[in-house]
């Protein structure tokens, strides 16, 4: 133990070195370079350094931490290395700024590093001379340049090539700020056709389609898409064996990696007309139809009935608003209603986004008689006709018979007529109107149980505090176990904070609260550190515990939707936010049931 203390002291007192290095000093656009930040002289307790500023480069991964211990001349020396993966993005002089580190009250910094970045092929521009003479380039077409807010815009990305190409890979997706994006599926085997550009024949393949729905007005842009591809380049040299350089023999050719970009797309988004806008318009743009049905038209009081509203057509199905904004005022007062169950059926075929959105309301009539459900209206803007349209459903009638719990000749008292207790007569004869006389019992204080409870309660409280403190002291050395025990309470607090920001216009705060709460809770319950808890680690830990896979799939879907809403364009409607929050609460409850069941078995 003395030797270990001396070795630890030698590590703590060793001189710390903080330096930066890269694996190569010259790269092409699209290629990767590794940045190593090494802290020599310490192997534990080293914080993550401040990420340096980047010019001409962008962060592609990391930091990844590794530690190493060495004994040199009887002295233990430790080092910690943080590895960053950078991708070259702009040709020219790239620069990695200085990184700083605060370790044990001292400030350390690295020297800046300059990297030469060369071009990997000119970005293509539709119609430009370079775009027409390059042997490989990318074009993007839009079905319209001017559109209305929330109207669909279809983007089609095609690759043009004259040389042999293999292994196309999208390395950077286009940024679509201000749009709600929907991916349009394409066949696995992309069809190739031929097209003549400036007298030169090219082969063309469509490799990506996106349907965009602008969520704001003004001039919006879609940033370039970057495609990495392997291009076969024929050798052009003279030698005595030139016969074997003929393409027929497959010799004299080499393959090089290129990155090509699509051009930036500008779209002008016009606001929707306000002159003839209906009062109940909720932002729906497209062409829709609506229907309303009851699963039963005759029920008994206190029996459940389902009212279904279905909106179907072409447009942004996910953002369609609830046709009944306030169920409490819409339905008759004698009918109890619950929040609707919302389902979507979206079809993405032929570049069109269509389908249906269904709202199912559970209704429970509380009084007998004829209950009338009024007609419902739903307005949308049709960009083809450039006019607002209002749909309406016919009124529905529900015949409610007297239930088992209703009584009276009139079929029971309607819920709407229920009142508080009030005095309607003074003809009640009370059996006893006075409290009577009180007599003291001849019992000594120490013969009462309350006396002993009051006497022992303070000592019991002291004992509970002592035991709890001992338990916490034992857990202090096991932070993962302590986090496991605190996970349920921390999760409930986090979900309460998420509910408080549920209705805020800035949805990023809500989705961030749900994501961090759910990740930290699952990491705690699975005895994993939450700082670098990834989905792969979640799946591995879940399989080790042999927990139900449907709960894992639900958690993965919630985290994916929250990440999509935080980092992609657009936002979910308020109803979907509430569903995400309720589903997160259900996951916490389900895992708690599993943990409790495992505790009973042990």
The DSSP line for 257-314 is: EEEEEPPPEEEEEEPPP-TT--TT--S-BEEEEEEEEES-SEEETT--EEEEEEEEEE
Residue 422, pLDDT > 60, answer no
Q: What is the pLDDT of residue 417?
A: 43
Can you list the domains of the chain with their CATH numbers? 2-118 (2.60.40.10), 129-270 (2.60.40), 286-407 (2.60.40.740), 477-601 (1.20.120.330)
Cα 529 from Cα 478, distance rounded (Å): 12
State how far the Cα of 522 lies from the Cα of 592, in Å rounded to an integer: 11
d(CA 142, CA 140): 7
Residue 66's Cβ-count burial label (10 Å; 0-12, 13-18, 19+) is exposed
Mean pLDDT of 92-115: 90
- For residue 155, what pLDDT band results from cuts at 50, 70 and 90? very high
For residue 452, is pLDDT > 70? yes
Q: Which of 317-326, 383-392, 412-421 has the highest mean predicted lDDT (pLDDT)?
A: 383-392
pLDDT score at 13:
45
Distance CA 557, CA 22 (A): 38
- Find tokens 């990155």 and name the residue: 259
Percent of the chain as helix, strand, coil, to the nearest 5 = 25, 35, 35
Query: Is the per-residue pLDDT at 108 higher than 50?
Result: yes
pLDDT digits (tens, 9 = 90+) for 354-404: 999 999 999 999 888 999 999 999 999 999 999 999 999 999 999 999 876
What DSSP character marks residue 426? -
pTM: 0.46
Single out the residue of 477, 481, 562, 478 nearest to residue 519, CA to CA.
562
CA atoms of 336 and 307, how far apart (whole Å): 12
CA distances from 417 to 22, 372, 594 (A): 79, 17, 46
Average pLDDT of the chain? 80
Query: Of 23-27, 44-48, 340-344, 472-476, which range is least confident?
Result: 472-476
Highest mean pLDDT among 72-76, 413-417, 555-559: 555-559
pLDDT above 90 as % of the chain: 25
What is the percent of the chain with per-residue pLDDT over 70, rounded to a whole number? Answer: 79
Class of residue 140 by CB neighbours under 10 A (exposed 0-12, middle 13-18, buried 19+) = buried
Sequence-separated (6 or more) residues with CB below 8 Å from residue 13: none
pLDDT at 432: 65
> Tokens representing 385?
């006709």
Q: How confident is the model at residue 149 (pLDDT cuts 50, 70, 90)?
A: very high
Beta carbons within 8 Å of 54's beta carbon, 6+ residues apart = 86, 94, 95, 96, 97
Q: In which element (H, E) is residue 70 found?
A: strand 57-72
d(CA 580, CA 515): 10
Question: Is the confidence at residue 140, as pLDDT, over 50?
Answer: yes
Tell me whether strands 136-142 and 153-161 are parallel, antiparallel or unpaired. Answer: antiparallel
- Residue 194 backbone phi and psi in degrees, to 5: -110, 145
Query: pLDDT higher for 277 or 571?
Result: 277
pLDDT bin (cut points 50, 70, 90) of residue 220 is very high
Question: Comparing 303 with 11, which gets the higher pLDDT?
Answer: 303
pLDDT at 5: 43
Cα-only R_g, the chain: 35
């Amino acid at each position: 133990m003395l030797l270990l203390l001396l070795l630890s002291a030698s590590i703590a007192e060793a001189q710390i070195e903080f330096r930066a290095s890269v694996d190569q000093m010259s790269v092409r656009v699209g290629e990767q370079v590794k940045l190593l930040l090494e802290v020599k002289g310490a192997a534990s307790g080293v914080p993550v350094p401040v990420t340096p500023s980047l010019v001409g480069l962008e962060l592609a991964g990391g930091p990844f931490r590794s530690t190493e211990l060495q004994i040199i001349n009887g002295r233990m020396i430790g080092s910690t290395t943080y590895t960053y993966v950078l991708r070259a993005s702009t040709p020219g002089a790239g620069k990695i700024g200085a990184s700083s580190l605060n370790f044990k009250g001292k400030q350390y910094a690295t020297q800046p590093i300059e990297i030469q970045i060369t071009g990997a092929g000119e970005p293509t521009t539709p119609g430009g001379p370079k775009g027409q003479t390059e042997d490989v380039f990318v074009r993007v077409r839009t079905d319209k340049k001017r559109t209305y807010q929330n109207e669909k815009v279809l983007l089609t990305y095609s690759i043009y090539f004259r040389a042999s190409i293999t292994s196309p890979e999208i390395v950077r997706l286009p940024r679509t700020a201000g749009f709600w994006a929907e991916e349009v599926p394409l066949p696995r085997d992309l069809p190739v056709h031929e097209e003549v550009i400036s007298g030169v024949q090219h082969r063309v393949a469509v490799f990506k389609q996106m349907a965009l729905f602008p969520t704001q007005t003004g001039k919006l842009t879609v940033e370039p898409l970057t495609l990495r591809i392997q291009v076969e380049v024929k050798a052009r040299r003279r030698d005595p064996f030139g016969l074997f350089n003929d393409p027929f023999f497959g010799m004299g050719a080499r393959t090089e990696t290129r990155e090509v970009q699509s051009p930036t797309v500008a779209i002008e988004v016009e606001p929707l007309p306000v002159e003839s806008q209906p009062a109940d318009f909720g932002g729906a743009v497209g062409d829709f139809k609506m229907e309303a049905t009851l699963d039963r038209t005759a029920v008994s009081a206190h029996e459940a009935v389902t009212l279904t509203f279905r909106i179907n057509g072409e447009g942004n199905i996910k953002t369609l608003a609830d046709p009944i904004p306030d169920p409490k005022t819409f339905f008759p007062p004698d009918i109890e209603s619950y929040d609707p169950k919302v389902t979507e059926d979206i079809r993405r075929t032929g570049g069109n986004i269509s389908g249906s959105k269904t709202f199912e309301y559970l209704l429970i009539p509380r009084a007998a008689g004829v209950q009338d459900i009024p007609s419902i209206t739903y307005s949308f803007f049709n960009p083809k006709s450039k006019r607002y349209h209002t749909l309406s459903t016919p009124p529905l009638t529900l015949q409610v018979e007297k239930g088992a719990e209703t009584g009276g000749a009139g079929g029971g008292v309607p819920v709407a007529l229920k009142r508080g207790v009030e005095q309607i007569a003074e003809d009640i004869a009370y059996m006893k109107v006075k409290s009577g006389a009180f007599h003291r019992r001849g019992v000594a204080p120490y013969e009462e149980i309350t006396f002993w409870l009051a006497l022992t309660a303070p000592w019991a409280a002291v004992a509970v505090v002592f035991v709890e403190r001992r338990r916490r002291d034992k857990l202090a050395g096991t932070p993962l176990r302590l986090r496991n025990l605190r996970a349920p309470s921390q999760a409930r607090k986090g979900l309460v904070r998420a509910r408080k920001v549920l209705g805020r216009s800035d949805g990023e705060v809500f989705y961030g609260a749900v994501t961090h709460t759910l990740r930290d809770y699952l990491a705690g319950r699975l005895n994993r550190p939450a700082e670098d808890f990834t989905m792969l680690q979640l799946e591995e830990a879940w399989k080790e515990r042999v927990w139900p896979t449907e709960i894992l799939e639900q958690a993965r879907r919630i985290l994916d939707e929250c990440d999509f809403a935080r980092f992609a364009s657009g936002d979910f409607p308020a109803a979907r936010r509430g569903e995400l929050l309720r589903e997160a609460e259900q996951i916490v409850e389900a895992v708690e049931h599993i943990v409790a069941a495992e505790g009973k078995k042990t």
